[in-house]
Copies of this chain bind each other. A is one copy, B any other.
């Protein structure tokens, strides 16, 4: 029972997502379809790329993740199938998968060209419904991805700002903000461990200084800012019982610095 997930910028309650589900169920009546989110900001490829990085590996192996954030629909941008680790993805080749592929090489990558698996006629503006949904449905029924088109060597890759690591200092940024206003950064637990570990440390985001990395929110007073390793292994800044993004006035891209004071 392969699961199909949907990640789009259609907006909550958009009938476009429903049309995709209708197409999938028309081909594979028993399909299990799960919404990851339809709240990607319009055409925000980077936002979706981070959601995929944080969410997709929680799904069963062989899940088919369909991603429709597609500002180039109707140009000659490709649509690809890619297997990354134990998960499958169908997406326009515009960088959506470029956080997932930073650590794991996609294999195979297939450029979708076999139009016999698509709806006909294909509209000029909604390839999520006309190409990606029917292809996902057929894969979930057992179609071999190799049938979908021609093998491809590489995927479009976006530049992601690197985390700067120096002696006793690390500089990253806020890359995602959740509905509680918690700030997710591109500094990971792995980076911290391989540098200096937790312990005495100073975390700064804009004007907000935090004196340590805590284990959890609950240890601190209501209203205080805390830094901790979040549930996806990222350094995260939160305000206990409050909204860190509002309190600190931070947004995506705001700088975050970790510093180990001299002793």
A residues in contact (CB < 8 Å) with B: 1, 3, 5, 9-16, 18-19, 21-23, 25-26, 29-30, 32-39, 42-43, 51, 54-56, 58-60, 63, 71-75, 77, 123-126, 129-130, 178-180, 215-219, 228-231, 236, 241, 243
Number of copies: 3
Task: Determine the chain B residues whose CB is within 8 A of the CB of A178 once the complex forms.
Answer: 10-11, 14, 16
Contact B1 A29 (CB under 8 A): yes
- Kindly list chain B residues whose C-beta atoms are within 8 Å of the C-beta of A56: 22
Knowing A25-B3, A75-B218, say if A35 contacts B58 (CB, 8 Å).
no
Tell me if A216 and B59 are in contact (CB < 8 A): no
State the 8 A-B residue pairs at the shortest beta-carbon distance, nearest first: A74-B216, A11-B179, A13-B39, A75-B218, A126-B231, A22-B58, A22-B59, A124-B216
Q: Are B22 and A55 in contact (CB under 8 A)?
A: yes
**B60, A215: Cβ atoms closer than 8 Å:** no
Is B18 touching A37 in the complex (CB atoms < 8 A)? yes
Contacts A/B (CB < 8 Å), 6 sampled:
A13-B39, A14-B179, A19-B54, A21-B34, A22-B63, A30-B32
Given the known A-B contacts A217-B73, A231-B123, are A36 and B15 also in contact in the complex, defined by CB atoms under 8 Å? yes
Query: Would A231 and B55 count as touching, CB distance under 8 A?
Result: no
Q: What B residues does A236 contact at CB under 8 A? A: 125
Instruction: Note all chain B residues with C-beta closer than 8 A to A21.
Output: 34
Q: Which residue of B lies closest to A123 (CB)?
A: B231
In the docked arrangement, what's the CA distance between A74 and B226, Å? Answer: 13
**A43 and B179 contacting across the interface, CB-CB below 8 Å:** no
Nearest CB in chain B to that of A40: its residue:
B13
User: Pick the contact of A37 from B14, B39, B219 — CB < 8 Å?
Assistant: B14
Inter-chain contact B216/A42, CB cutoff 8 Å: no
